[in-house]
Amino acid sequence: MIATEMEGGSMNRRELAKKIDHTLLGPIASAEGVRTLCAEAVEHGVATVCVNPCHVALAASLLMDQPIPVCAVIGFPHGMMTAQAKACEAADAIALGASELDMVVNIGALRDGNHAAVEADIRAVCDAARAAGPTVYVKVILETGFLSDEEKEAGARLAKKAGAHYVKTSTGFGPHGATVEDVALLRRVVGQEMGVKAAGGIRDAETALAMIEAGADRIGASRTAAILAGVPE
How many angstroms separate the CA atoms of 30 and 24, rounded? 9
The answer to whether residue 102 is catalytic is yes
**Residues whose CB falls within 8 Å of the CB of residue 226, separated by 6 or more in sequence, listed in order:** 203, 204
| From 102, 121, 182, 217, the catalytic residue | 102
Q: Helix, strand, coil: what percent of the chain each, to 5? A: 45, 15, 35
Catalytic residue, chosen from 139, 152, 160, 197, is 197
Is residue 197 part of the annotated active site? The answer reads: yes
Active-site annotation holder among 19, 86, 152, 168? 168
Handedness of CA 211, 217, 220, 222 (dihedral sign): positive
Nearest CA-CA partner of 98 in 52, 43, 153: 52
Question: Measured between alpha carbons, how far is 161 from 121 in angstroms, rounded to an integer?
Answer: 12
N-terminal to C-terminal alpha carbon distance within the chain: 30
**Residue 188 backbone dihedrals phi, psi, to 5 degrees:** -60, -40
Cβ atoms < 10 Å from Cβ of 206: 13
Active site residues: 102, 168, 197
